[in-house]
Amino acid sequence: MLRRSLLLVLLAACAPAAPPPAAAPPAQAHDHAAHDHTGAAPEQLGSVAFPVSCSAEAQQRFGRAVAMLHSFWFEEAEKAFSGVAEVDPKCAMAHWGRALTLMGNLFAGPPPEANLKAALAAAERAEALAGSASARERGYIAGALALTRDQERLSHAERMQRHEAALRALRETAPDDMEATIFYARAVIGNAPPSDLTFARQKEAAAILQPLFREHPNHPGLAHYLIHGFDSPQLAEYGLEAARAYAEIAPSAPHALHMPSHIFTRLGYWDESIETNRRSANAEPVPDAAVHPLDYMVYAYLQQGRDRAAGEVVERVVQLPDRFYGGVIGYNFVAMPARFTLERGRWEEASRLTMPTGAAPFVTAVAHFARAIGAARSGQPALAREEVAALAALENTLEEQKNSYWTTIVGAQRLAATAWLARAEGRDEEALRVARAAAELEETIEKHPVTPGPLLPARELLGDLLLELNRPAEARQAYEKSLEREPNRARSLFGAARAAELAGDLESARTRYAELAQLMAPSDGDRAELRVAREFLARR
């Protein structure tokens, strides 16, 4: 009851002045569960009602296609919307659906260029057929055009702002259309600045979506976008209801099976994250190519010390081209082996990580950061210096591209690596100054949804440095602050315990060591920190 009361207070504080539109759209909700007799599981996508002025058969297919779109099952959604156009060539909204599908995951950034052009063509085809569409449908098409037109003149962020404005206008003119409200809230979350750590826009969207979710608990979009809205350490607890529901609402959609782990990761619920990401990967045509859920799974395994299980995933994962995400998920493919070395403190191994080829700058930075930290912490300052220089060049490239988010992330990585290079060269005070700057910079923005978390949090690395320099009280503060953003992280728990022990606070050390021992109870590796924790607990 307390958690629900807090949620109501949170949402009320950010609720819009006008009440949300009526929850039920004009048509009866349709449950997309198609049964067959082949032994395959029935298709389950949740319930979506989206009336359109198309043929009866097109209408039946359209709701299923929108359900797929809400769950980011883009490959199948594109086929489904194309099928709508085949049975009713005059159905403008079929092409609206294709346009939004081709734009992909709006929370992750723009899609590949080929999809951008195809999305514009689909939106303009919808506009050409809109003469027989309703005014409401023309409002949806205007939203798609706002998102896809002027690609040479306007950035993705600027077009997203236009998209939100168009959907706001649609919502105002069609207040009883629940789908208009849902797509508007999705745009609000997509436009939330990563530097706004009050999460005002996410709260605004949640205030719209949460009452609708209570009335329509089987709607895939409501559950999905609530998870995105609450995907931050401060708000994650409020997303648990949606997270625990979503995988059962639309288990046929691989992304719906993955999304709960965004909340589980924020809360340090590693068993739940592993299980839902395993289901997600297994639902993909090529499970070993499901690099996004597998990266989240590897991250969770490593927190539990299940190094053998994590290593098996890293060994078998493959990277295949992705039409809808392009190079973004290249991040996950490169991050997995980097995490596998860094989380286990295998510094020399990290310094030898293979560099990706043809990757985006922020993806290439993953490997350079891991190599820089590994080299600096394994007695290879010359190599570390080269890697820091490479990070600086990538940071400049991102700044020239006006990619402020990844410029900040790579800048923090460069500073953290520079700090450990300074430590390797005996410049300890400089190392501390730069390490603090890295932590402060990294904490000015929220993480990108592509990643479960930083490779190694800059604040945690500051704690490592302070511990090495025999400043345990300050180290403990750094680790504890890191745990506020990244709860139940094994390295930060160990650091906090060890720092408390060295500072003479044995009771706090016992508490943190006990938490670490419980966290790593399923460990299948040979982590030194687990041995230290067990030895400490056995002595007292």
- C-alpha distance across the termini of the chain, in Å: 38
Residue-level pLDDT at 321: 79
Look-up of token digits 């359209």: 62
Residue-level pLDDT at 319: 87
Cα gap 427→286, rounded to integer Å: 49
Over residues 142-168, the mean pLDDT reads 97
Structure tokens at 11: 């949402």
Cα torsion 237, 242, 246, 249: sign: positive
Residue-level pLDDT at 27: 33
Residue-level pLDDT at 466: 98
Structure tokens at 53: 């002025």
Share of the chain above pLDDT 70, in %: 92
Over residues 251-264, the mean pLDDT reads 98
Over residues 51-75, the mean pLDDT reads 97
Q: Are 96 and 126 in contact (CB under 8 A)?
A: yes
Average pLDDT over the chain, rounded to an integer: 93
- Longest CA span, the chain: 80
Residue-level pLDDT at 10: 52
Q: What is the pLDDT of residues 294-326, one digit of tens each?
A: 999 999 999 999 999 999 999 999 988 777 777
Check pLDDT > 70 for residue 33: no
Over residues 381-393, the mean pLDDT reads 98
Residue-level pLDDT at 18: 35
Alpha helices per DSSP H over 250-306: 254-258, 260-267, 270-283, 291-303
Share of the chain above pLDDT 90, in %: 89
At residue 539, what is the residue type?
A: R
Check pLDDT > 70 for residue 39: no
Residue-level pLDDT at 328: 80
Cα gap 199→148, rounded to integer Å: 27
Residue-level pLDDT at 119: 98
Residue-level pLDDT at 32: 47
Check pLDDT > 90 for residue 404: yes
Check pLDDT > 60 for residue 5: no
Check pLDDT > 50 for residue 410: yes
Cα torsion 131, 135, 140, 146: sign: positive
Residue-level pLDDT at 221: 98
Q: Are 476 and 500 in contact (CB under 8 A)?
A: yes
Judged by average pLDDT, the poorest of 14-28, 174-188, 215-229 is: 14-28
Q: What is the pLDDT of residues 484-522, one digit of tens each?
A: 999 999 999 999 999 999 999 999 999 999 999 999 999
Check pLDDT > 90 for residue 26: no
Judged by average pLDDT, the poorest of 36-50, 276-290, 350-364, 525-539 is: 36-50
Q: What is the pLDDT of residues 90-141, one digit of tens each?
A: 999 999 999 999 999 999 989 999 999 999 999 999 999 999 999 999 999 9
Beta carbons within 10 angstroms of residue 131's beta carbon = 9
Q: What is the pLDDT of residues 335-362, one digit of tens each?
A: 999 999 999 999 999 999 999 999 999 9
CATH class, 458-540 region: mainly alpha
Q: What is the pLDDT of residues 423-439, one digit of tens each?
A: 999 999 999 999 999 99
Check pLDDT > 80 for residue 28: no
Return the CATH fold of 2-18+49-240: 1.25.40
Over residues 350-375, the mean pLDDT reads 97
Check pLDDT > 50 for residue 35: no
Check pLDDT > 80 for residue 403: yes
pLDDT confidence tier of residue 40, bands split at 50, 70 and 90: low
Q: Are 48 and 240 in contact (CB under 8 A)?
A: no
Check pLDDT > 70 for residue 467: yes
Residue-level pLDDT at 324: 74
